[in-house]
Amino acid sequence: MLRVPRFLAHRASRRRHRALLALAATLLAPVSTTLTAQGNAAAPRAVLVTGASTGIGRTITEHLAARGWFVYGGARRAEDIAELNAIPNVQGVRLDVTVPAELDSAVALVRRAGRGLHGVVNNAGVAAMAPLIEMDDRDMTSLLEVNVLGPFRVTKAFAPLLLEAKGRVVLISSISGTLSGALLGAYSMSKHAVEAYGDALAAELAPFGVGVSLVEPGNFRSAIGRTTSAQIQRAIDANPDSRYAEQMRARLAGMANYDRYPEPTAVAEAVAHALGDAAPRRRYMVVPAEREAEVTIRKAIDELVQLNQWSAYRYDRAALVRMLDSSLVRHP
């Protein structure tokens, strides 16, 4: 058997020891020196996620944090903030998007932390179902405050940081930003507004290097199902003689299946792409079933055809197909 000289064995042992120490240092290093979501050995990019305590927002927060982003998770309740703080790479932040003072405090907190801010994910949202001619004004106002003015206020408040970083804004919209229908009018109104807001914001921020994307989920599991069920029940109780009572009860029964929808992991993946890819999409429709995609695309096509019906400058089929082909070239 070949004998290794003792001094060489000691050297090999020391080399192994140093290698093990280096490996341990890498594994135990603070997050600021580990690999980021972009693969660089530098401080991870920081993002803010509103409505991070449950549902889609919680999934986005956990997904980004697990991939090396540092996430400020906005939540309203102390217990939710504590839960967020327990997640590696996450700092819970008290943030009700309808309270200007909490927005100011959140901006100050992010500035003090010194990480900058690469992105804002405007996820906080609520839903309400009711016939528009009977809907309580307070329900409508509350919905628009959160779903429309919320993203407006949050993005405006953090705009200086986003402009400094040449960062990203992600708006969690919905396929209801294209679709609408009976009893869904208020929610669809809010998401149509988010779509318009996203397009205008993108045009305004592009010259300064800030990207804007809209993520449009279909039906995924979320706490919004339980809160909407409670709201529908309140509406039924408040107006038992409503001419829409039967439809409302049917909607309430349908909401019982909400927890059977898939987890919103695909939504979080779309958000990660919008935040981190060199060429983010303007829109990401993310649905768990082909039927939802078909209904949404058909609705957009129907609207195109309806726009063309009464126009003094009506286009024939060949011209419309050429327009479609041109758009497909611009957005392959």
pLDDT per position as a tens digit, 1-25: 333 344 334 334 444 444 443 333 3
Angle at which helices 185-205 and 137-144 cross, to 10°: 30
Q: What is the pLDDT of residue 79?
A: 98
Query: For residue 259, what are the CA distances in angstroms to 9, 41, 187, 255?
Result: 61, 40, 20, 9
Token pair 């309270």 is at which residue?
Answer: 99
Query: For residue 108, what are the CA distances in angstroms to 24, 93, 115, 168, 229?
Result: 35, 11, 12, 19, 36
Q: Cβ distance 216 to 175 under 8 Å?
A: yes
Sign of the CA dihedral running 290, 62, 142, 173: negative
pTM of the shown model: 0.86
Q: How many beta carbons lie within 10 A of that of residue 216, not counting itself?
A: 24
Question: CA-CA distance, 327 to 319, in Å (whole number)?
Answer: 12
Question: CA-CA distance, 130 to 238, in Å (whole number)?
Answer: 11
Which class for 146: exposed (0-12), middle (13-18), buried (19 or more C-beta within 10 A)? buried
Say if residue 144's pLDDT is above 90: yes
Query: For residue 181, what are the CA distances in angstroms to 143, 147, 283, 302?
Result: 17, 18, 22, 14
Mean pLDDT of the chain: 89
Confidence band (pLDDT; 50, 70, 90) for 222?
Answer: confident
Q: What is the pLDDT of residue 16?
A: 45
Rg over alpha carbons for the chain, rounded to the nearest Å, is 25
Question: CA-CA distance, 260 to 238, in Å (whole number)?
Answer: 29
Among 127, 75, 59, residue whose Cα is nearest residue 286: 59
Q: Give me the domains of the chain, ranges plus CATH numbers.
A: 20-288 (3.40.50.720), 290-332 (no CATH)
Structure tokens at 310: 């009464």
Would you give the DSSP letter of residue 86? Answer: T
Q: What is the pLDDT of residue 42?
A: 59
Of the residues 72, 187, 197, 284, which is catalytic? 187
Among 9, 98, 71, residue whose Cα is nearest residue 276: 71
Residue range 175-189, pLDDT digits in tens: 999 999 999 999 999
How many Cα atoms are found within 13 Å in the side-chain-facing hemisphere of 57? 28
Residue 132: phi, psi to the nearest 5?
-60, -30
Which class for 112: exposed (0-12), middle (13-18), buried (19 or more C-beta within 10 A)? exposed
Which of 205-219, 243-257, 290-304, 318-332 is predicted least confidently?
243-257
- Where residue 47 falls (left for φ over 0; alpha for ψ -120 to 50; beta otherwise) is beta
Residue range 249-301, pLDDT digits in tens: 998 998 887 778 999 999 999 999 999 999 999 999 999 999 999 999 999 99
Say if residue 75's pLDDT is above 60: yes
Structure tokens at 197: 């807001």
Greater confidence (327 vs 21) lies with 327
Say if residue 213's pLDDT is above 50: yes
Token pair 């039967």 is at which residue?
Answer: 246
Is there a catalytic annotation at residue 197?
no
